[in-house]
Structure 1
């Protein structure tokens, strides 16, 4: 009675894992009978899924029942918990129950403990933090290998810089590159990548730079370019968080008297210590307090966007506030 719990914010990678599981479990000729998914807004979705997973399979292959975006591992009413207790021990061997959620399971909940008791496989699909440049480059190289192309080291770095931690966009761009160089065995170089891949992350870094100098006009102009290019607000925020976090760490280390660039790079999580000199120049005119004051504003921006606030209005307001903080010397 295999049970799977997939969670995490990397929707694309999670979707690929779900497709692999479905292909392994369900015979495609019998999929209409043996594969069922339940959306969270369906009435009694959990009860329906548990009843369905107990239904004998039709034809060949196994049965897969998928509870999409379930909250079972975040909150579980007593009646649902009772149904889990009754059902989990007797799920047929060729039936598979899959639970997915973006949120981390609550280890304290009885439902989570019950799933672990019956050997559920918990698997996380996290997004790489935007400031983890080495992991982003590694992800780009792994995606290229999966798709069947080779990247030069500089091309992988530029691609990672361009798409950030958006895994879906990463695979789309690599597929585009594969089609462009089809028939060639040479690694894709950085010139090819720069021609074909739009670097919106770099534009977000330009936005961060304009905010750092307190240049409200330039910051709002760069923001307008990003919005016109349909850059998601949360991706802009992710870049700002990473950049201001890096600046803050560099400034703190400078204020503490640290001069070793390797030590500063390690503390600031900067892969290339040679960048430290340039980062030091960037934050020379800013105080630690100014950089600290920026982070809550960026986090407020992230919360507002996630709560469905008007993207353009919220972004513009917070960018102005950030420029005012950084511009007040």
Structure 2
């Protein structure tokens, strides 16, 4: 698991070759940065760090570099980006790679070089010999979306590194407000740590005060206000979004998307799906399923069907009619109120 590998890197338990693959860009970037920070000093970076785009450079040139002794230091780091020869996707490569050269290197890597192969693909082609060799001879970092438990553990570790600690309800609120984007979470944790200064604990009140809400979260909260029949508060959120220059058509699309998700979660729950199964089926983060399930319990099937019809009508009017778009959503919110 990626968090365990990070701990080993911090303890300077460094492997000669890493294979990073997956679509969670934060985990890939963080792993790269951790390796650089724990292998090279700042003054060594110019001499002993290099990066190659394998869509532009043959793999054998990068391996020649890896086998060359470091200059003014004991170790060197080499990043290899975009190894599309590891996937079944159509290749964008402009060069031919001597993959047998890479296979030989995997079996006997240079002891003074740390090679990091960064493959930002959802899947690798397991049928290929080179993929099998890499999985056999490297430390694998699978950069996939963390589940809720893993995400909370990562936030706790991030907070600890910044000298702060989240109260349990503050951690839940942070995730509810920001969502599961790790870049955004990292930024908000850093901001909270700076603001807290001498304070050790971060409570829900401070999170509520400082953490920026994503557009998606504002839409989620807006729907919550509709559910609670607090139309004035729902409208206030909507008007705030307009002040932030959010386009009405985008707001409508997100409203429709959230109600569609609520409907899907309600239907899948009726069929006996668990939340993790729903997340896999819908291809979204389990935390989004958890939030949608909470809202789904507050609607009847008839209400959801009615709301979906109203949203479809509003979408049609917005794209074909001459009515003011912002007024159209305002009227929609009045009609959504139960």
TM-score (norm 2): 0.64
| 2:124 is the counterpart of 1:105 | yes
Deviation, structure 1 residue 273: 9.3
1:297 alignment partner in structure 2: none
* Alignment partners' CA distance in 1, 2:104 and 2:291: 60
Contact 2:50 2:78 in 1 (8 A): yes
* Alignment partners' CA distance in 1, 2:260 and 2:244: 21
1:303-324: CA deviation from partner (whole Å, max 9, x where unpaired): xxxxxxxxxxxxx9xxx9xx9x
* Structure 2 CA distance for partners of 1:110 and 1:243, relative to 1, 3 Å: farther
- Contiguous gaps of at least 5 residues in structure 2: 1-14, 228-234, 279-285, 313-324
Query: Once superposed, what is the RMSD of the aligned Cα atoms?
Result: 4.4
Deviation, structure 1 residue 89: 3.7
Contact 1:2 1:96 in 2 (8 A): yes
1:74-94: CA deviation from partner (whole Å, max 9, x where unpaired): 168874323323444443211
| 2:164 is the counterpart of 1:146 | no
Deviation, structure 1 residue 36: 0.5
| 2:184 is the counterpart of 1:165 | no
Contact 2:59 2:102 in 1 (8 A): no
Please say which of residues 200-209 and 266-275 is displaced more in the overlay.
266-275
Contact 1:162 1:198 in 2 (8 A): yes
* Structure 2 CA distance for partners of 1:54 and 1:243, relative to 1, 3 Å: farther
Please say which of residues 6-15 and 199-208 is displaced more in the overlay.
199-208
Contact 1:27 1:61 in 2 (8 A): no
Deviation, structure 1 residue 47: 3.2
Contact 2:86 2:125 in 1 (8 A): yes
Report how many residues are paired. Answer: 271
* Structure 2 CA distance for partners of 1:281 and 1:67, relative to 1, 3 Å: same
2:134 alignment partner in structure 1: 115
Deviation, structure 1 residue 114: 2.2
2:9 alignment partner in structure 1: none
* Alignment partners' CA distance in 2, 1:229 and 1:121: 44
- Contiguous gaps of at least 5 residues in structure 1: 213-217, 295-315
Alignment partner of 2:296 out of 274, 279, 287: 279
Contact 1:63 1:94 in 2 (8 A): yes
1:313 alignment partner in structure 2: none
Please say which of residues 86-95 and 242-251 is displaced more in the overlay.
242-251
Deviation, structure 1 residue 267: 7.1
* Structure 2 CA distance for partners of 1:222 and 1:8, relative to 1, 3 Å: farther
| 2:197 is the counterpart of 1:175 | no
| 2:26 is the counterpart of 1:12 | yes
Contact 2:59 2:97 in 1 (8 A): no
* Structure 2 CA distance for partners of 1:272 and 1:71, relative to 1, 3 Å: closer
Contact 1:265 1:271 in 2 (8 A): no
2:245 alignment partner in structure 1: 228
Alignment partner of 2:40 out of 26, 41, 50: 26
Pairing 1:48-197 to 2, within 5 Å after superposition: 48-74=61-87, 79-103=97-121, 104-117=123-136, 119-128=137-146, 136-185=151-200, 187-197=201-211
TM-score (norm 1): 0.65
Question: Secondary structure, in 3 states, of the residue corresponding to 1:281?
Answer: coil
* Alignment partners' CA distance in 2, 1:97 and 1:162: 38
